[in-house]
Amino acid sequence: MFSKDDLIKEAAPKTCSVEVPEWKATLTIRELSAEEVFDLGKDEHGKELDQKTSTAKGIVMSVVDPETGLPVFTEADIPAIKKFGASGTMRLQKAINELNGVSTEARKN
């Protein structure tokens, strides 16, 4: 029988490593909570964000230090992240979407 404790253990957010050769980096990303996924496209007041800002926010929320699990970036880094090279950003966004079971089309809606 599957217990509540088993479910809590299995439902804990997962992490994975993502090779981003364009940046000569391997990044660790974490699975977002359902609440975080729903809030990705909105600012703190519930206003819809443009796609560039939403993508940068997803990177801020997802990229973590592999040893501590703490975020690598903060909201203050969003302007810099929006200027990252497109190919590396798209590779990272795709991995974030896949880890969270979210398609690009679903994020647009």
The rounded mean pLDDT for the chain is 90
- Cα 59 from Cα 64, distance rounded (Å): 9
Interval 84-93: pLDDT, tens = 999 999 999 9
pLDDT tens-place values along the chain, 109 residues long? 778 888 888 887 899 999 999 999 999 999 999 889 888 889 889 899 999 999 999 999 999 999 999 999 999 999 999 999 999 999 999 999 999 998 655 444 4
As its CATH architecture, domain 14-108 has 2-Layer Sandwich (3.30)
